[in-house]
Each structure stands twice: as structure tokens, then as C-alpha cells.
Structure 1
């Protein structure tokens, strides 16, 4: 649970400023990845159990996050919600991998 909380805080630190830049309010920005992160984090092994490779699983769970967050942002009237969600999620997953390689976390 501690590892998830650290990863969640990292994701929020990366994605919230992007969503604020997109024109989402604080609540919408905070809730976007709050809606998806637990499902992505804890569902990763379930999706992986379907026989997908690590990379394939990553694509599936990130696509889920991008689509759900885009739908959420769109419902909050954020313009170009899909592009902002794509940017936020690609940025957070990339920085997460770089941080893990460099520092061993999140």
C-alpha cells in the first residue's frame, strides 16, 4: 500500500499541473487520476494474467487511464480533453520510469 501511495502522489504531482494548464479546475484536476490510478495500479497484475507481455499490459492499462481521464475532463468541459489526458499520462509514466531507473522510486 505504501508503494501505491508514493506512486499516486508522484502521479498527482505530474498530472495535476498539466490538467490545470488545460483549464481544469483543482477538483477536476485532482480527481482525474484519482479515478484511474488505483484501478491501473492494482489491476495491472490482473490484466497481465490475461497472457499479455509487460509492454502489452502497460499499453492496455495506460489506454484505459487516458480514455477515462479524457472522458472525465470532457465532462468538466475541458477542451481537447483527449490530448491533455494523453499528454498527462505519457508524461507521468515516462517520468515514473525515468525516476525508477535513476532513484529506485516510485
Structure 2
């Protein structure tokens, strides 16, 4: 169990992308660095502070910690996994729907 939590926490950036609808951009970022800066440089000063880096992770942790006890247990991780699967299924259905139909 002790090894599961660090692994789950390392997935937070990917989880945030999967759970939160991202605004449509006409041109996707040109590089991983562009995507990183666009997502984390909240004050747009051209650099990411430790606080800017940690803020979305803290938010995700709070969202995962459904019972608010300050830790994420297996049931909460499984609930997150289920939500991610459902979200991915919805996205697949939206992308496979014929043009002009929801």
C-alpha cells in the first residue's frame, strides 16, 4: 500500500488531463515544454515556481480525498479509476459519433 500512493500521486498530471475537459485549441502545443508552461505558469511570467507546480497537485489530491481525512485510500483510488474509465468512454463515444449528432 505504501508503494501505491506515490505511484498514484505520480499520475496526477495525467489524471488532471483525463478528468478535466481541456479547452479546444486550434493549434496543439509544439512541445512538451510549451504544454508544461501553458498548464502550470499561472501568472504567465515565463517560469514555473514551486507554488505554481504544487497548486494543481494539491487540488487533485483534495479531489481524490473524498472523505477529507488527509490521505487517499484504496477505495478512493478505485473510485478515481472508475471515474477516469467513464470519462474516457464518454470521450470515445463523442469522438465516434457521426457528424452532426451528439
> Normalised by the size of structure 2, how large is the TM-score?
0.31
> Normalised by the size of structure 1, how large is the TM-score?
0.30
Structure number with higher helix proportion:
1
- Relative contact order, CA 8 A, sep 6+: which one is greater? 1
